[in-house]
Structure 1
Amino acid sequence: MSTTEQLELDPAEVQAFAGRAVADAATWMATTMTMFGDRLGLWRALADSRPVTSPELAARTGTDERYLREWLAAMTAHGYLTHDPGAGTYLLPPAHVPVLATESPAHIGGLHQALYGLTGMLDRVLAVFRTGGGVPINAYPRDWFEGLERFSAGWFDHLLPQVWLPTLPELEAALRRGADVADIGCGRGRALIRLAERYPAGRYTGFDVHPESIAAAEAAARAAGVADRVRFECLDVSGGLPGDYDVITTFDVVHDAADPRGILAAIHAALRPDGRYLCLDINSSHRLEDNRGPVAAYFYGVSVLYCMTTSLAHGGAGLGTCGFPEHTARELCTAAGFGTVRRVEMENPFNILYEITH
């Protein structure tokens, strides 16, 4: 007799969980259709919040009307669009526009592009699930990295200069004077480029292990007109940073590093005595029971599909997305030789910000 047969199951509990599981599957489908809307420019075409018919939208976007009509139905059923059956029109409500259609702190188009990129990695991750090891960072598609840049653009374009830095007066004063700044795990360079635009007296260097991201960062710096004070280098800094710096930053980097202890030790060694290390990482707890709900579930899923597996692919620690919470951050930073780890007060469901000094 199976364990299930031995138990007396409550049919109402079974039915309730079945309903939840079906709803979760429906959410996955809605997210997939939302990715299509981002990929095909459909949300941008709906951004004026004016009613439009499916033939009109098909002509505007260069898409097939029959497919588009089915997509519109899916998005209406999920509550992302409204539908006027009499006029046969569809409308993107104004409150949905900044989330789906235009660049803003609330925009999640980059998240959808990144998830679109991750869908192509499922077979690779399934394989290492059985064998151990991991999927290396250079196996991931361009959509993943471009999507991450778009998703984090809200931080660097709106939160870093206007919200975070004003809470760090000593660090911001150093930037205004003209600091030597290093960004580790710089990706496609957006954070340094924004800092260089706002604080032109500084000298900025970005380091990353992904050559394609470094090439994109260099092109972006040239396009922004800041290449005279921003440079990028493809380098694993866990063995040491070249030079020393007034300000060092990591933005959602330490938790998926192959050698987080090595990176923190390198930062400590390269940070000048009165320098400041600005560390943004995931808002989570070191206790699984505290990490509940949709956001935590998303973190753990991304960990399996990227953060943990890319670290393990290089023989790394495999901390995972939730692997550098405040408890661990304080422990590892103290072990690296830092004297002060200050959590910056801010309300953010995704991230915690720390100012760390000698």
Structure 2
Amino acid sequence: MEHIQTNTIDTAKLDALVARVLGDLSAGYGGVMVSLGHRLGLYKAMAEAGPLTTHELASRASCAERYVREWLNSQVAGGYVLYHAVSGTYELTPEQVLVLADEDSPLFIPNAWAVPASMWADEDKAVEAFRTGNGVAWGDHDGRLYCGVAGFYRNAYKASLVSEWLPALEGVVERLKAGALVADIGCGHGQSTVLMAKAFPASLFRGFDAHRQSVDEACEVAAEAGVSERVTFAEAAADSYPGSGYDLICFFDCLHDMGDPVAAATYAAKAIAPNGAVMLVEPFANDRVEDNISPVARMYYAASTTICCAHAISDGGRMVLGAQAGESRLAGVFRKAGFTRFRRAMETPFNLILEARL
């Protein structure tokens, strides 16, 4: 970089950039620590007690004290654990419990670290994809991806799907209460399907996904929830699943992963019942790149680079939307498929909840 003149460097901007890069690097290290704390039960052990010494926590979690001590200090340095210098003890605040220890909290985050772990593991595949333009199918990724995605979305869906998102759609809750037929396309591990089935016992639910292992996992999730009599799962593509007359067709954070989203929407138009609705949940995004500058957008663009776009390309790549498609592009997909009504029902910092009707 000899051509760069030192007198052209803004030192304040340089210092700010270096500080940001170091913060990001620190966060990457911290993610490993969060994952370890979750897998070893360290956060849970702390949540069930007040201030603890390193020996007390090590005993509660059945871990070696010297490792626990270093792990705790990394948590203190990162602001994830409170340290009491006088007593030499460590404690989780109620807020930290919600984010790090309570697996039912909508803010619980440790599982999400499995996604970047899988991205690192698949780095060679991403490098090859960049150089060749070829795709990487969903099923060809490191196994941590599937658990990470399911864990990340499960609690958000649990907190909002039934109580907020479905009621935002026109007349859908009433139809579900009366007894409806629902298709969950790209259902993954079936968390969304099962949540709806538990909330609306008069309705029938069918989940479809092209990934066999996810379908098998979804069947187990339904069985554990006791809803298998009203919920079925099958391996099927988004433009060829069986059945018709669906009162509600759902796409939860998956349409942008498909190689031909117009074909998926067109098939939904044929499979939907009269006056039926499509519920489209997509990662939150504005329509312009310059309006998508935030930590959430950065996370979504990064995942989209190695996961979403890579799968869409492997799936034919007729239209590679990416995880930051935005409402206008998504509306265009459904207009091409023959839908005449498309609206934003609501939004969250992480999702757009959209409704389409013929």
How many pairs align?
356
| Paired position in structure 2 for 1:24 | 24
How far is the alpha carbon of 1:49 from its aligned partner?
5.2
Structure 2 gap segments, 5+ residues each: none
Q: Per-residue CA shift, 1:43-71, capped at 9, x if unaligned?
A: 11111351111122112212222222111
| Preserved contact between residue 35 and residue 111 of structure 2 (Cα < 8 Å) | no
**Equivalents in 2 of 1:312, 1:192: separation in Å?**
27
How far is the alpha carbon of 1:85 from its aligned partner?
2.4
| Paired position in structure 2 for 1:60 | 60
- What amino acid is the match of 2:40? L
**Equivalents in 1 of 2:174, 2:89: separation in Å?**
53
**Equivalents in 2 of 1:343, 1:156: separation in Å?**
18
| Preserved contact between residue 165 and residue 346 of structure 2 (Cα < 8 Å) | no
| Paired position in structure 2 for 1:120 | 121
| Paired position in structure 2 for 1:287 | 288
**Equivalents in 1 of 2:3, 2:338: separation in Å?**
52
| Paired position in structure 2 for 1:10 | 10
How far is the alpha carbon of 1:341 from its aligned partner?
0.6
- What amino acid is the match of 2:323? T
- Residues 32 and 40 of structure 1: CA distance in aligned 2, closer, same or farther (over 3 Å): same
3-state SS in 1 of match to 2:80 = coil
| Paired position in structure 2 for 1:130 | 131
- What amino acid is the match of 2:320? G
**2:43 paired with 1:43:** yes
| Preserved contact between residue 256 and residue 322 of structure 2 (Cα < 8 Å) | yes
- Residues 65 and 266 of structure 1: CA distance in aligned 2, closer, same or farther (over 3 Å): same
3-state SS in 2 of match to 1:303 = helix
Q: Per-residue CA shift, 1:191-228, capped at 9, x if unaligned?
A: 11111111111111000011011001111112211111
How far is the alpha carbon of 1:7 from its aligned partner?
6.3
| Paired position in structure 1 for 2:340 | 339
- What amino acid is the match of 1:148? V
**Equivalents in 1 of 2:202, 2:114: separation in Å?**
35
Q: Per-residue CA shift, 1:99-152, capped at 9, x if unaligned?
A: 111021111122123333333212221222222212221122332212222221
User: What does 1:262-281 align with in structure 2 at a 5 Å threshold?
Assistant: 262-281=263-282
User: What does 1:1-358 align with in structure 2 at a 5 Å threshold?
Assistant: 2-5=2-5, 8-48=8-48, 50-102=50-102, 103-239=104-240, 241-316=242-317, 317-323=319-325, 325-346=326-347, 348-358=348-358
**Equivalents in 2 of 1:258, 1:241: separation in Å?**
20
How far is the alpha carbon of 1:240 from its aligned partner?
5.7
**Equivalents in 2 of 1:125, 1:67: separation in Å?**
34
3-state SS in 2 of match to 1:286 = coil
- What amino acid is the match of 1:321? A
TM-score normalised per structure 1 = 0.94
| Preserved contact between residue 45 and residue 61 of structure 1 (Cα < 8 Å) | yes
3-state SS in 1 of match to 2:349 = coil
**Equivalents in 1 of 2:135, 2:60: separation in Å?**
43
How far is the alpha carbon of 1:349 from its aligned partner?
0.9
How far is the alpha carbon of 1:29 from its aligned partner?
1.6
| Preserved contact between residue 49 and residue 94 of structure 1 (Cα < 8 Å) | no
**Equivalents in 2 of 1:300, 1:88: separation in Å?**
42
How far is the alpha carbon of 1:241 from its aligned partner?
4.7
Greater alpha carbon shift after TM alignment, 12-21 vs 172-181: 12-21
How far is the alpha carbon of 1:2 from its aligned partner?
4.5
**Equivalents in 1 of 2:10, 2:354: separation in Å?**
47
- Residues 115 and 15 of structure 1: CA distance in aligned 2, closer, same or farther (over 3 Å): closer
| Preserved contact between residue 184 and residue 206 of structure 1 (Cα < 8 Å) | yes
**Equivalents in 2 of 1:4, 1:327: separation in Å?**
41
**Equivalents in 1 of 2:46, 2:257: separation in Å?**
37
- Residues 168 and 10 of structure 1: CA distance in aligned 2, closer, same or farther (over 3 Å): closer
Greater alpha carbon shift after TM alignment, 37-46 vs 66-75: 37-46
**Equivalents in 2 of 1:62, 1:126: separation in Å?**
40
- CA-atom RMSD, angstroms? 1.8
| Preserved contact between residue 241 and residue 266 of structure 1 (Cα < 8 Å) | no
Structure 1 gap segments, 5+ residues each: none
How far is the alpha carbon of 1:6 from its aligned partner?
8.0
TM-score normalised per structure 2 = 0.94
How far is the alpha carbon of 1:269 from its aligned partner?
1.1
| Preserved contact between residue 258 and residue 312 of structure 1 (Cα < 8 Å) | yes
| Preserved contact between residue 239 and residue 262 of structure 1 (Cα < 8 Å) | no
- Residues 100 and 332 of structure 1: CA distance in aligned 2, closer, same or farther (over 3 Å): same
3-state SS in 2 of match to 1:315 = coil
| Preserved contact between residue 81 and residue 91 of structure 2 (Cα < 8 Å) | yes
- Residues 135 and 179 of structure 1: CA distance in aligned 2, closer, same or farther (over 3 Å): same
Q: Per-residue CA shift, 1:291-315, capped at 9, x if unaligned?
A: 1021111111111221111222233
